[in-house]
Amino acid sequence: MERIVRLLVVTIKSWHIEKALEKQLHDVDNEWHIITSKDDFTPEAVEKINPDYIFLPHWSWLIPETICEKYETVVFHPTDLPFGRGGTPIQNQIARGIYSVQLTALRASAQIDAGDIYMKVPFDLSYGNVEEILKRAGEIYFEKMIPRIISERTKPKPQEGVVTQFVRRKPEQSNLQGAEEIKSDRALYDLVRMLDGEGYPGAYIPVANGRLLFKNASLENNACKMDIVFESMENDE
């Protein structure tokens, strides 16, 4: 009888937490542990769990080197690495009209997104807002990639190819007033949906005493439709 594998999932996203809790409840072949706060992800906390694997779906912070060196630590990145290393990869690809991408599972390393690769899975960015995209990606992480890494004891291989670096988008880039990239209904749809999700600075246009927020974009009959919400400046006071 094989030894039960001890797994640690580290994430702050609600949908990934739900998937990890589901695995914790129903996966009798493995032992699942969950950390849901950046501040709780410490070498001391990890040592108490002593996991065989650490999985970090959609993690935006540096991982302590002591953890990476001691434990098999797996992160996920939605580009065909080494293309697209760096921040906000979903937004950077959609903004460039790149929709057919890869979800990459890689070993965490001191250099961001430069670790050895366990596997890649094709993925579609052509539809859905960023929250829906991340949920779809999460399904693949938890139902396909993580189980395969565990069951096959997959050995990661060094990255090959030309390195391309993305620059993390800034919150002020969500201001669509005068945005030169809006040249079609598709371009507007992409801009709104790629910023529409938990923890992201949504697309907006500033107006007197507040701003108009754009959400739930869709393409219908050669037009981009969306919800518009007025956010008063008084809410920030």
Per residue in 191-207, pLDDT tens?
999 999 988 899 999 99
Burial 10-19 (b: 16+ CB within 10 A, else e): bbbbebbbeb
Please give the single-letter amino acid code of residue 151: S
Q: What pLDDT shows up at residue 1?
A: 47
Q: What pLDDT shows up at residue 126?
A: 97
The CA–CA distances, whole Å, from 210 to 155, 193, 205, 215 equal 52, 21, 9, 16
Q: What pLDDT shows up at residue 236?
A: 54
Give the tens place of pLDDT for each residue, 21-55: 999 999 989 999 999 999 999 999 999 999 999 99
Dist CA 85 CA 114 (whole Å): 8
What residue ranges define each of the domains in the chain, with the CATH number in brackets? 5-166 (3.40.50.170), 171-236 (3.10.25.20)
Are the C-beta atoms of 54 and 71 separated by less than 8 Å?
yes
Local structure of residue 216 (DSSP, 8 states):
E
Q: What pLDDT shows up at residue 2?
A: 64
Q: What pLDDT shows up at residue 58?
A: 84
Please give the single-letter amino acid code of residue 192: V
Q: What pLDDT shows up at residue 178?
A: 82
- CA end-to-end span of the chain: 61
Contacts of 91 (CB under 8 A, 6+ apart): 130, 169, 194, 195
Cα torsion at 193, 14, 32, 136 (round to 10°)? -20
Dist CA 150 CA 161 (whole Å): 27
Dist CA 140 CA 122 (whole Å): 10
5: phi then psi, degrees, rounded to nearest 5: -85, 130
Which portions of the chain are predicted below pLDDT 70?
A: 1-2, 235-237
pTM score: 0.91
Q: What pLDDT shows up at residue 170?
A: 92
